[in-house]
């Protein structure tokens, strides 16, 4: 016991002496002082941008470890000029890393990952969208960096200090020991649950808030590299998977919708960036989406739908819609898991004799669709090479919706029946900048008045979005009219879903909604429409129960007389208590929307008794959500469906 006490005292003494020496070297050397100050600034800016708590001491310890360790490494360099150049280089890397994450957070409310390197090929196609989120303070950010470089250079040039090899050793030893001390203190604050969060990286903002951006990226590095290795599923994970699938299939029962549309053609409209708030909304006494409004009123309209996408946005939604699985939370599933075997709606329908096809007015290589769509079960992908477009027909990333729809009809006519066709639209894509091409026309071919935006600034991105959505709605309406004229709707169901929210500025959304919102309410309102339409529907319905994109496939499949054993979601005509889970740990159950990062919630059910929302209530739901995320990650990570079918002695589900 006495020996342990002496070791502890010795450790405290070393830490205290190192800290004293570090403070002394900082106070005496302006180069070190400037470097430290300007190394801290980007982390403070990151916390401001992301609304993180400044009082999180744990991140201070971890950030201090990395900054002091970098300084310590720099002082291994004996040449003064090279050492100062190295400090400038390290400072640039720090600012670039934080800036990249700030830009990424603005769009995704998450942080970048090494696994996203495979997405670099998409940059040319999304550069306009990235430019749309730049703000004046982003320029100030880099002016701060330039100021730091100037001060660092001035002090370095004017400094008369020439450190001996012995002094350099003392300086780096002090910094490295103090940095290590910060790391030890940080590690001492960890609980088992926090270590799990650091390892799993579901909730990346939580990790950055508590461990700092450097520690986050180190954890992400290990996780991303781990994805490159082939890993066998453990017996425990496989048993969890089997048990979950058994429980899901116990609840699979027939209902009044079973086989309702069996044998029908299916046209799926992947409606780019169409949000639920557009449906039945008017502005300046104009309907924003008149055709969509009528379409919803004549079909089964699910008004409380969440798209559940991750950083893969549109491609994630295509994946989830077809597989009833969540996308990965580390990378983009279309780029990282295209070799996996999934049970999908197109594959199940092919077994029933369907011809399956997807259509898109952009390059087939975008989001790796030319590889992933066959993996999902599509017989053919008709990409931009299959469509004719004059320069004036191009909007944003590809052919405008009207031309796309009209030419797609010809491909539908030429297809073998029954068919399953997915049409991926493009016009309503950020940054909504081609306003002069959003002209709609009346029945006589005359241009209609341009949509006005009420209290919104006429040049705002949200006003442009409304005009873009109005055009996309008109093009969709012309598509339906042409299908009807060609008598192609008699034996066809049309399914439409919004692929993801448009991430419009919260200030503009407050104008549209009519009151101020915090971030959680903003997220709770980011819904997309989901509509199933057929001439055979005699009693249209609006279903207000909360649902996610994972629930779309089971709902449609039941109507078509097919079933996927490995669905995470539920048939919305079979479930009364549905939990919608996001792969960052957020969830909603129709009563509240819970934000895992902020550990807070927004009440979505005005009639709920708030006393019901207890700590036990939230913990129970969190546990359910955690299990769903785990199972989805197990399926994706280990290609477990392929593993299941490869087993000779399969357990019965």
Residues 90 and 48: their CA atoms lie apart, in Å, by: 22
With respect to residue 134, please indicate whether it lies within any of the assigned structural domains.
yes
Which of these, 309, 375, 374, 311, lies nearest to 115 by C-alpha position? Answer: 311
Tell me the average pLDDT across 101-130.
71
For residues 220 and 241, state if they share a domain.
no
**Catalytic (active site) residue 115:** no
With respect to residue 574, please indicate whether it lies within any of the assigned structural domains.
yes
Question: What was the pLDDT predicted at 439?
Answer: 92
Residues 494 and 267: their CA atoms lie apart, in Å, by: 5
For residues 281 and 212, state if they share a domain.
no
Taking the model in full, what pTM does it have? 0.88
Q: How far is the CA of 278 from the CAs of 462, 512, 526, in angstroms?
A: 12, 10, 11
pLDDT tens digits along 535-547 = 999 999 999 999 9
For residues 60 and 120, state if they share a domain.
yes
For residues 251 and 217, state if they share a domain.
no
With respect to residue 182, please indicate whether it lies within any of the assigned structural domains.
yes
Q: Which residues define the annotated binding site for Mn(2+)?
A: 272, 499-500
Count of beta carbons in the 10 Å neighbourhood of residue 115: 23
Question: What was the pLDDT predicted at 161?
Answer: 78
Full domain range(s) for residue 584: 235-646
With respect to residue 652, please indicate whether it lies within any of the assigned structural domains.
no
For residues 113 and 251, state if they share a domain.
no
Instruction: Name the least confident of 50-59, 238-247, 430-439.
Output: 50-59
- Which of 228, 245, 275 is the last residue before a domain boundary? 228
For residues 239 and 291, state if they share a domain.
yes
For residues 253 and 189, state if they share a domain.
no
pLDDT tens digits along 9-25 = 776 777 777 788 888 88
Contacts of 186-193 with C-beta under 8 Å, sequence gap 24+, read: 186/58, 186/61, 186/62, 186/65, 186/211, 189/57, 189/58, 189/61
- Helix, strand, coil shares of the chain as percentages rounded to 5? 55, 10, 35
Count of beta carbons in the 10 Å neighbourhood of residue 286: 17
For residues 521 and 400, state if they share a domain.
yes
Tell me the average pLDDT across 248-277.
94
With respect to residue 278, please indicate whether it lies within any of the assigned structural domains.
yes
By CB atoms closer than 10 A (0-12, 13-18, 19+), residue 271 is buried
Torsion of CA 503, 505, 510, 512, to 10 degrees: -70
Question: Residues 466, 505: contact at Cβ < 8 Å?
Answer: no
Report the relative pairing of strands 547-548 and 300-306 from DSSP bridges. Answer: parallel
Share of the chain above pLDDT 90, in %: 72
Residues 253 and 432: their CA atoms lie apart, in Å, by: 44
Tell me the average pLDDT across 305-331.
94
Q: What is the DSSP letter of 119?
A: G
- Which of 228, 255, 275 is the last residue before a domain boundary? 228
Which of these, 233, 241, 238, lies nearest to 568 by C-alpha position? Answer: 241
- Domain count for the chain, please give it: 2
With respect to residue 651, please indicate whether it lies within any of the assigned structural domains.
no
Secondary structure (H, E, C), 400-443: CHHHHHHHHHHHHHCCCCCEEEEEECCCCCCCCCCHHHCCCECC
For residues 205 and 129, state if they share a domain.
yes
- Which of 172, 198, 228 is the last residue before a domain boundary? 228
pLDDT tens digits along 151-176 = 999 998 888 778 889 999 999 999 99
Distance of CA 208 to the CA centre of its chain: 17
Torsion of CA 618, 623, 627, 633, to 10 degrees: 70
The residue among 6 and 326 whose pLDDT is bigger is 326
State the CATH number of the domain containing residue 506: 3.40.720.10
Q: For the chain, what is the mean pLDDT? A: 91
Q: Which residues define the annotated binding site?
A: 272, 429, 499-500
For residues 285 and 218, state if they share a domain.
no
Torsion of CA 621, 627, 629, 631, to 10 degrees: -150
Tell me the average pLDDT across 201-206.
84
Residue 606, pLDDT above cutoff 80: yes
The residue annotated as part of the active site, out of 39, 59, 69, 314, is 314
Residue 509, pLDDT above cutoff 60: yes
Question: Residues 492, 532: contact at Cβ < 8 Å?
Answer: no
With respect to residue 162, please indicate whether it lies within any of the assigned structural domains.
yes
Tell me the average pLDDT across 46-64.
83
Tell me the average pLDDT across 496-513.
95
pLDDT tens digits along 614-634 = 999 999 999 999 999 999 999
For residues 441 and 350, state if they share a domain.
yes
Residue 4, pLDDT above cutoff 70: no
Tell me the average pLDDT across 276-292.
97
For residues 291 and 144, state if they share a domain.
no
Which helix (H) or strand (E) segment holds residue 463: the answer is helix 461-485
User: Number of helices (H) and strands (E), helices first, in the chain?
Assistant: 22, 17
Phi then psi for residue 619, to 5 deg, are: -65, -40
Residue 2, pLDDT above cutoff 60: no
Share of the chain above pLDDT 70, in %: 94
Residue 406, pLDDT above cutoff 80: yes
**Could you please report the per-residue DSSP string of 152-189?**
HHHHHHH------HHHHHHHHHHHHHHHHHHHHHHHHT
Q: Which residues define the annotated binding site for substrate?
A: 429
Q: How far is the CA of 189 from the CAs of 113, 179, 192, 411, 616, in angstroms?
A: 25, 16, 10, 62, 25
With respect to residue 653, please indicate whether it lies within any of the assigned structural domains.
no
């Amino acid at each position: 016991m006495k020996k342990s006490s002496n070791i502890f005292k010795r450790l405290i003494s070393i830490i205290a002496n190192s800290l004293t020496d570090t403070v002394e070297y900082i106070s005496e050397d302006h180069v070190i002082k400037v470097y430290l100050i300007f190394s801290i600034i980007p982390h403070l800016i990151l916390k401001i941008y992301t609304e993180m708590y400044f009082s999180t001491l744990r991140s201070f310890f971890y950030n201090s470890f990395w900054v002091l360790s970098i300084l310590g490494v720099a002082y291994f360099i004996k040449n003064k000029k090279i050492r100062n150049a190295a400090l400038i280089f390290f400072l640039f890397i720090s600012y670039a890393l934080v800036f990249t994450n700030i830009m990424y957070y603005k769009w995704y409310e998450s942080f970048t990952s090494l696994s996203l390197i495979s997405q670099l090929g998409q940059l040319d196609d999304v550069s306009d969208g990235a430019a749309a989120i730049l703000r004046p303070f982003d320029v100030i950010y880099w002016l701060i960096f330039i100021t730091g470089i100037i001060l660092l250079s001035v002090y370095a040039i004017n400094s008369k200090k020439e450190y001996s090899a012995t002094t350099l050793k003392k300086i780096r030893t002090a910094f490295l020991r103090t940095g290590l001390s910060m790391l030890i203190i940080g590690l001492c604050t960890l609980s088992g649950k926090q270590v799990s969060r650091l390892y799993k990286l579901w909730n990346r903002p939580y990790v950055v808030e508590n461990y700092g951006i450097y520690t986050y990226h180190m954890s992400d590095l290990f996780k991303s590299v781990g994805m490159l290795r082939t890993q066998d599923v453990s017996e425990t994970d496989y048993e969890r998977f089997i048990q979950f699938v058994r429980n899901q299939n116990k609840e699979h029962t027939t209902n009044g919708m079973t086989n309702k549309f069996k044998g029908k053609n299916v046209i799926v409209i992947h409606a780019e960036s169409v949000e639920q708030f557009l449906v039945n909304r008017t502005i300046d006494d104009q309907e924003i989406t008149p055709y969509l409004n009528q379409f919803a009123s004549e079909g089964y309209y699910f008004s409380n739908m969440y798209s559940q996408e991750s950083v893969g946005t549109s491609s994630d939604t295509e994946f989830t819609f077809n597989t009833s699985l969540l996308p990965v939370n580390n990378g983009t599933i279309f780029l990282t898991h295209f070799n996996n075997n999934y049970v999908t709606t197109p594959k199940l329908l092919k077994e029933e004799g369907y011809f399956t096809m997807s259509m898109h007015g952009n390059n087939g290589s975008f989001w790796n669709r030319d590889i992933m769509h066959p993996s999902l079960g599509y017989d053919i992908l008709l990409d931009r090479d299959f469509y004719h477009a004059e320069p004036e027909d191009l909007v944003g990333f590809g052919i405008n919706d009207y031309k796309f729809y009209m030419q797609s009809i010809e491909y539908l006519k030429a297809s073998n029946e029954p068919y399953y066709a997915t049409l991926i639209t493009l016009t309503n894509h950020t940054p909504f900048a081609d306003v002069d091409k959003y002209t709609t026309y009346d029945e006589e071919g005359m241009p209609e008045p341009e949509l006005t935006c009420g209290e919104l600034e006429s040049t705002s991105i949200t006003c442009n979005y409304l005009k873009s959505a109005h055009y996309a709605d008109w093009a969709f309406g012309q598509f339906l009219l042409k299908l009807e004229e060609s008598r192609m709707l008699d034996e066809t169901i049309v399914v439409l879903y919004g692929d993801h929210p448009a991430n419009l500025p919260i200030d503009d959304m407050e104008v549209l909604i009519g009151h101020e919102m915090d971030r959680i309410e903003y997220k709770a309102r980011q819904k997309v429409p989901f509509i199933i339409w057929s001439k055979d529907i005699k009693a249209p319905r609006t279903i207000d129960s909360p649902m996610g994109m994972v629930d779309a496939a089971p709902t449609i499949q039941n109507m078509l007389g097919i079933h996927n054993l490995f669905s995470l979601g539920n048939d919305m005509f079979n479930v009364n208590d549905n939990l919608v889970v996001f792969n960052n740990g957020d969830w909603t159950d129709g009563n509240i929307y819970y934000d895992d990062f902020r550990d807070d919630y927004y009440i979505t059910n005005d009639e709920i008794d708030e006393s019901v929302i207890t700590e036990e209530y939230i913990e129970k739901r969190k546990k359910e959500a955690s299990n769903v995320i785990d199972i989805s990650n197990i399926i994706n990570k280990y290609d477990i469906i392929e593993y299941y079918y490869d087993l000779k002695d399969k357990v019965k589900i």
